[in-house]
Copies of this chain bind each other. A is one copy, B any other.
Amino acid sequence: MNNPTLKEIASQLGISITTVSKALKGYADVSPLTKKAVINLAKQLNYTPNSFAVNLRTKESKTIGLIIPTLVHDFFSIVIKGVLAEAEKRDYLVIILQSNEKLAFEKKQIELLLNKRVDGILMSLSNETDDFKHLNTIISHGTPLVLFDKIAKLVNCSKVSINDRKAAYDAVCYLINKGYKKIAHFRGSYTPQNSIDRFLGYKKALEDNNIQYDSSLVYLCDHNADFQDGYENAKKVIAEHPEIDAIFAITDLVAFGIIKYFNETGISIPNQIAVLGFSNWFMSSIVTPKLSTINQPGFEIGKQSAIILFDEIKLKRHNAPIVFKSIEIETHIIEREST
């Protein structure tokens, strides 16, 4: 119920608090005898250091913050897993917050974490985020920050992501090589860098293969690229451009919407129209037809981000200079039945 303190151990043993503290922390200048006594009593009383006091003294919380756009999401939940795995190794705890894809929330969450004085922050930006003052607040506050997945290239901190542009480029080249010629793109909203990059990759691939880029074949997913976006845009594209033979979707979830609509309306995948997703959600191998997609190694992204963050936290503690890193995790195409 009430936690024992160094003071209690000290008084029970008739020695000073200092000696108890030293004994428990394995300092050399404690006689083996007292050391043993202290450790025994501590164990017996079930002593654990009061983290509040330790935090206050050391100015470290052994806690990091993680802000993600949304939790109920295959990719992000796997990222979290990767982060937790690294945190665990270092006895760090992770406070998880959602931005719900809203800039306003994102700002608020940052404030909460900064007030809590977490040792570092890991975050993936919301789709709305188009200015970065709040991120600079973190930086000027001296709190290490690592951006992952949905990053802002202009912000001066470490970043972990995939090369969305290249991944999309390769994906569309792959479609072209398979013989598809009239390829639509269901793109994400205009602010997130990865949405922009995937679009640019798509466009470049067409151009490099001498296919005229046609902006009317690009459909916007403005519901945060969800299932509904895919479904609605599939309906639209069929009405407006029945001649297309493939769709490259910004993410698997959108692709699932497309598949649903095509299955309902009897459009055959991939014979009539091929569908290519992005991210390799768990469900991609289960839907009918199984979705071809690009893997986006969430665990690795979470893991690497955390490793970099913990490195920077350590460097900062030692007042060592920090060199920001920008890491790109490799991706590849997973060919299934939909292309």
Contact = CB atoms under 8 A, between A and B. Distances in A.
Nearest to A74: B72
Nearest to A141: B1
Nearest to A58: B52
A265 interface: no
A96 B117 CA distance: 17
B227 A286 contact: yes
Secondary structure of the A side of the interface? Answer: mixed
A93 to B, nearest CB: 5
A41 B209 CA distance: 62
A73 B80 CA distance: 12
A71 B61 contact: no
Interface string A109-131: 00010111100000000000000
A115 B3 CA distance: 10
A268 interface: no
A63 B95 contact: yes
A57 to B, nearest CB: 9
B84 A98 contact: yes
A276 interface: no
Nearest to A73: B77
Interface string A82-104: 00100000010111111000000
16 contacts: A1-B140, A1-B141, A51-B116, A51-B117, A52-B61, A55-B56, A71-B81, A72-B77, A77-B77, A80-B96, A84-B98, A93-B95, A95-B95, A227-B282, A259-B286, A283-B283
| For the complex of A and B, 7 pairs with smallest distance between CB atoms | A52-B55, A52-B56, A72-B77, A1-B142, A288-B288, A48-B115, A93-B95
